[in-house]
Amino acid sequence: MRKSIVVLILVCFWACKTDKSQGESSDLSDWSMVETQGQNQSINMMMWKGDPKINAYMSDYVLPKIKSKYGIDVNIVSGQGSMIVQSLMTELQANKSESEIDLVWINGETFYQLRQIDALYGPWTSELPNAEFIDFDNPFIGKDFQQDIDGYELPWGNVQMTLIYDQAKIKNPPQNKVELLDFVKTHPGQFTFDNHFTGLTFLKSLLISFAENPDELYGDFDEVTYQKYSQQLWEYINKLKPYLWQNGEVFPENVAQMHQLFASGEIWFSMSNNDSEVDNKISEGLFPKSARAYVPDFGSIQNSHYLGIPKLSKHKAAAMLVANFMISAEAQSHKSKPEVWGDGSVLDIENLPENQKQHFENIAKRQYAPPRSELNQKALMELNPEYMIRLAEDFRTKIINP
Amino acid sequence: MKLKVYPILIKLLFWLLIVLPVVAGLGYALSYSLGLTGLLSKGFTLEYWQKALTTQSLWASFLYSLSIGIISVFISLCFAVSMALSWNKSIQQGRLSYFIFLPLCFPATVMAFVVLQWLSPSGWFSRIAFELGFINSLNAFPNLVRDFYGFGIIVCSVLLITPFFTILMSNIYKNENLLHLENLSKTLGASTAKTLKRVTLPILFQKSKMTLLLFVIFVMGSYEVPLILGRQYPQMVSVAIVQKIQKFNLNDIPLGFAMSVLYVILVVLVLMVLGKPSRKYLKPHFK
Amino acid sequence: MMSKVLKYIYVLAVVFPLVFLLGLSLAQQWQFPEILPQQWTFQHWGKSLFQEGDILKSLFLSLGLSLTLASLVSVLAFFISKFIAYSKYRQIYMRLTLVPYILSPVVLAVIFQYYFTLANLSGNFIGVLIAQLFFALPFGIVIFNNFWNNKLKSIEQLSFTLGASSRQSLLKVIIPLSKPAIVLCFFQSFLVSWFEYGLTQFIGLGKVKTLTVMVFNFINEANLFYAALACVLLVLPPIVLLYMNKKVLILAR
């Protein structure tokens, strides 16, 4: 008995051994240096792991490719925005010389907070050969929540928020605020939004819809403007509240939970920051085939998501190699296939060299969500992160716990 | 000399492994909550403490956790005592004993997951109610998880604690020779009900009250269960603390640390006032 | 008769969660209001155990972590508790021990995290092991606490009187006598570590993917079939322990 336990322990130690390769020195301005320094290392990437498709894209496509191309091992660690900020913040505070994390998947308020505490390495994105083809002129890509990205984060994908409904249950989904209110009144308990990014993004599009001109809310955070429109927003939400799921006393904690509720038939609407989500989830078998995505007339927010490298990372060259691959035409086009992930590409496809352009040809169109060109017409810009932080705070104090 | 080094070494280990971590952690949390540490700190301030002590949500979350702890322990106690008294022999030995122990194999996480899959409006019980025609849509099913009264959390805690209590009660019953005392009381003319009320229950309670108190504290501090079965308001203490430290607003972090200091102090106070450490303790694995 | 029926009901109620989880782990589609899943599959099990091996890896990691921790706690708690039990200040020591014992591990993790980062211990196996030690050790000490009594002390004294060295006395007398307590402590601390989530997630930064961490990852993905599968794996080792010796699951003396 005792022997077997000892043997087991040894086996387990062996099974979970970690190898730490040495970090590199400083000069990363020359790409050939980056290529030589970055190879054959192992790095940690922290990202949101809340979607099986995205996880599969990373583990079945990106990781093997990178391993065979550069010999880099990427260990993917689960953790989104706040967790990334908190971990990097503690490291800075503890005066660590080396970060546990080498690459992070971020945007908006995480980027804002990481810049606030100066936790990001940069500028680095212009070093990447593949960055040449990124459509930086597109304000939905070149600006992140109204902030200049300044080379501190690299655009990776672009998406637009959509509402998801079940065609079999709803013939004409509500297109504006009045219709939405009418809808929840006649169908109490069927609508809700989550208490996290997705729900907040929905709240932001509503907030913008109260302004006569969205430009009023674009740019830096403005207290007066916020007060003016948020007051109208909360009045409206309070009108909806009694007719929301669970009488608006509880909200799903995250988007995955909301999808689960939608899939089991508990609610009739879900929503997603990824416009291809509905195709993904139908192909996974989670959503019924009658699910459809749409953008109401008041529009929805389109934004990009990015990759960042922590300042204290000891494997910056390797992280840059990985990032460069992730924005290659090959990886971007694969990512944009609806059956893979359906994430919008950040590349300026029209201006790609012919041999790279071909990657984007013959990609099957998605079936259940409107085409991007149609969504683009209703696209709203992201607001300054301060708006989101305030909305989150006020949502808690004014709606969840009044 | 070996003999002299040994006690010092052990003492050192004790202070190093038991006392130091808590004191150091508390010190850090305290200094953070006073604005002395932290990347965004602006020097000493009582602002966060003032905010922490005056916001209603903090006290709500303490009170909420405490009442959930007390209610769960009380319900479990009722189940445990009735099972221990009526099935006393088969709990100690025989095939049933394995089944008494079986729920102990369930970690809090798993139990909470199971309860969620059972009690949520699209859960298993709701499906059965639907098939039997008790409800005509899943929205007619009552809110049993993520509800205001913490019903789901209580159910889950009761499922987790009851086996511990059953075994505890059954052991006390055996060790204190309660069967003998009961017979004596009946010989002296007391009715069965009176014997239960005057002899059995008081002894069981007397012998287990410290453990009961500890369990209230354990349930109060539970994290996984309310994370899965709880809702955004009111929140259990652990969940509230972690959320303050990890959500959108960086300025909330000192507040989270103030809350954790407060929680530690409250628990330690309870322990110092009421704790008699020589007792036998039991601890569930569900925190 | 009534009592017998109740007993059967109880047994059913206790076994049912297990069956339920197993069923869920074999399901593929399960929409309201179906009572049983519409489609069954062995795919999840095949995938996670043989193809991708993510869950299998976690299983070994968890086993490694918990077994190491249990050994460590058993040894340390044995000596420390002995020291406490025979000390003049037993009461004070025990009270101090109880503080980390009853605090919520995740709150401990919150207030420890800075130091772990400082010492390069966050996000790795050793760090999680040490963090778990900080609250599992008090647990072990509490288990041993009742074990050291006057009878045992006089036996130890006797062995000295009979000319045994302190080493001989320990190896030949005390340890054999304390075997049940050591076993109990070992399995108990194994379970504490096996069941732990909050602290592991916080100190391990999600990088130390124990089974409980995996369960939560699956729940967060709303991937309930895989969550159920991981739950089954999480419950099995304790059931094996139970079968081996039911006393190890609880302090029953």
Residue pointed to by tokens 């990373």: A58
Q: Are strands A300-308 and A103-106 parallel, antiparallel or unpaired?
A: antiparallel
pLDDT at C68 over 90: yes
Mean pLDDT on C180-196? 87
Selected residue with higher pLDDT from A69 and C173:
A69
Contact list in C for residue A53 (CB cut-off 8 A) is none
Q: Write the DSSP assignment of B93-147 as a string of letters.
A: SSHHHHHHHGGGGS-HHHHHHHHHHHHSTTSHHHHHHHHTTS-SSGGGS---SS-
pLDDT at B3 over 80: no
Give pLDDT, residue C247.
61
Q: Where are the alpha helices (DSSP H) in chain C?
A: 2-25, 43-46, 54-85, 90-102, 105-118, 125-145, 150-161, 166-168, 175-177, 179-195, 198-203, 211-220, 224-244
**Helix H or strand E encompassing B50:** helix B47-54
- Stated pTM of the model: 0.85
Mean pLDDT on A45-61? 88
Kindly report the nearest CA distance between residue A52 and chain B, in angstroms: 19
- d(CA A361, CA A236) in angstroms, rounded, equals 44
Q: Write the DSSP assignment of A54-83 as a string of letters.
A: HHHIIIIIIHHHHHHHH--EEEEEE--HHH
Question: In terms of Cα–Cα distance, which of A331, A384, A314 is closest to A154?
Answer: A331
- d(CA B199, CA C88) in angstroms, rounded, equals 36
Q: What is the pLDDT of residues A205-250, one digit of tens each?
A: 999 999 988 899 999 999 999 999 999 999 999 999 999 998 898 8
Mean pLDDT on A267-281? 91
Residue C59 has φ and ψ, to the nearest 5°, of: -60, -45
| Closest residue, chain C, to B94 (C-alpha) | C246
Could you tell me if B186 and B193 are in contact, meaning their C-beta atoms sit under 8 angstroms apart? Answer: no
Q: What is the pLDDT of residues B17-34, one digit of tens each?
A: 989 999 999 999 999 999
What is the C-alpha R_g of chain A? 22
- d(CA A371, CA B228) in angstroms, rounded, equals 37
CA–centroid distance for C157 within its chain? 35
Q: What is the pLDDT of residues A118-143, one digit of tens each?
A: 999 989 999 999 999 999 999 999 99
Residue A104 has φ and ψ, to the nearest 5°, of: -130, 150
- pLDDT band at residue B175, thresholds of 50, 70 and 90? confident
Residue C33 preceded by cis peptide, ω within 30: yes
Percent of chain A residues past pLDDT 70, beyond the cut:
94
Q: Which two tokens stand for residue B1?
A: 């000399």
Kindly report the nearest CA distance between residue B37 and chain C, in angstroms: 11
Q: Write the DSSP assignment of B166-197 as a string of letters.
A: HHHHHHHHHHTTHHHHHHHHHHTT--HHHHII
- pLDDT band at residue A17, thresholds of 50, 70 and 90? very low
Range in A11-25, B38-52, B155-169 the model is least confident about: A11-25
Give pLDDT, residue C249.
56
Q: Are strands A103-106 and A42-47 parallel, antiparallel or unpaired?
A: parallel
CA C82 to each of CA A220, B13, B283, C145, C227: distance values in angstroms, whole numbers, following the listed order: 64, 13, 21, 8, 42
- pLDDT band at residue B229, thresholds of 50, 70 and 90? very high
Non-local CB neighbours of C189 within 8 Å, separated by 6+ positions: C69, C70, C73, C74, C77, C136, C139, C140
Q: Which among C29, C32, C113 has CB closest to A285?
A: C29
Q: Which among C97, C107, C192 has CB closest to B285?
A: C192
Could you tell me if A275 and A375 are in contact, meaning their C-beta atoms sit under 8 angstroms apart? Answer: yes
Give pLDDT, residue C232.
93
- d(CA B115, CA B152) in angstroms, rounded, equals 7
Chains meeting A at 3+ CB pairs closer than 8 A? B, C
Estimate the crossing angle of helix C54-85 against helix C211-220, to 10 degrees.
130
pLDDT at C244 over 80: no
Residue A155 preceded by cis peptide, ω within 30: no
**Would you call C149 an interface residue with chain A, using a CB distance cutoff of 8 Å?**
no
Q: Which among C30, C114, C220 has CB closest to A50?
A: C220
Could you tell me if C84 and B14 are in contact, meaning their C-beta atoms sit under 8 angstroms apart? Answer: yes
- d(CA C214, CA C185) in angstroms, rounded, equals 26
Taking only residues 137 to 156 of chain B, the set having a beta carbon closer than 8 angstroms to any beta carbon of chain C reads 138
* B40·A389 Cβ contact <8 A: no
Give pLDDT, residue A140.
93
* B17·C112 Cβ contact <8 A: no
Percent of chain C residues past pLDDT 90, beyond the cut:
25
Selected residue with higher pLDDT from A134 and A82:
A134
pLDDT at C51 over 90: no
Please give the span between the terminal C-alpha atoms of chain C, in angstroms, as a whole number. 31
Question: In terms of Cα–Cα distance, which of C101, C107, C111, C77 is closest to C186?
Answer: C77
Q: What is the pLDDT of residues C134-164, one digit of tens each?
A: 989 998 998 888 788 778 888 888 888 888 8
CA C135 to each of CA C100, C180, C189: distance values in angstroms, whole numbers, following the listed order: 6, 22, 10
Chains meeting B at 3+ CB pairs closer than 8 A? A, C
* B113·C14 Cβ contact <8 A: no
* C15·B281 Cβ contact <8 A: no
Q: What is the pLDDT of residues A286-320, one digit of tens each?
A: 888 999 999 999 999 999 999 999 999 999 999 99
Count of all residues that appear for chain A in the document: 402
Give pLDDT, residue B248.
64
ipTM over the 0.85 cut-off:
yes
Question: In terms of Cα–Cα distance, which of A215, C202, C45 is closest to B245?
Answer: C202
* B113·C253 Cβ contact <8 A: no
Question: In terms of Cα–Cα distance, which of B61, A101, B237, B241 is closest to C110?
Answer: B241
Question: In terms of Cα–Cα distance, which of B95, B175, B202 is closest to C252?
Answer: B175
- pLDDT band at residue B104, thresholds of 50, 70 and 90? confident
pLDDT at C185 over 80: yes
* A250·B146 Cβ contact <8 A: yes
Could you tell me if A196 and A271 are in contact, meaning their C-beta atoms sit under 8 angstroms apart? Answer: no
Q: Where are the alpha helices (DSSP H) in A127-222?
A: 139-142, 177-186, 197-210
CA A74 to each of CA A59, A241, B47, C252: distance values in angstroms, whole numbers, following the listed order: 9, 44, 43, 47
Non-local CB neighbours of B142 within 8 Å, separated by 6+ positions: none
Interface of A with B (CB under 8 A): 81-83, 85-86, 89, 92-93, 109, 113, 116-117, 188-190, 195, 246, 249-251, 253, 261, 264-266, 388-389, 392-393, 396, 400-401
Count of all residues that appear for chain C in the document: 253
Question: In terms of Cα–Cα distance, which of B70, B252, B264, B84 is closest to B166?
Answer: B84
- d(CA C78, CA C143) in angstroms, rounded, equals 10
- pLDDT band at residue A390, thresholds of 50, 70 and 90? very high
pLDDT at A253 over 60: yes
Q: Which two tokens stand for residue C197?
A: 């989530």
Kindly report the nearest CA distance between residue A94 and chain C, in angstroms: 5
* B146·A116 Cβ contact <8 A: no
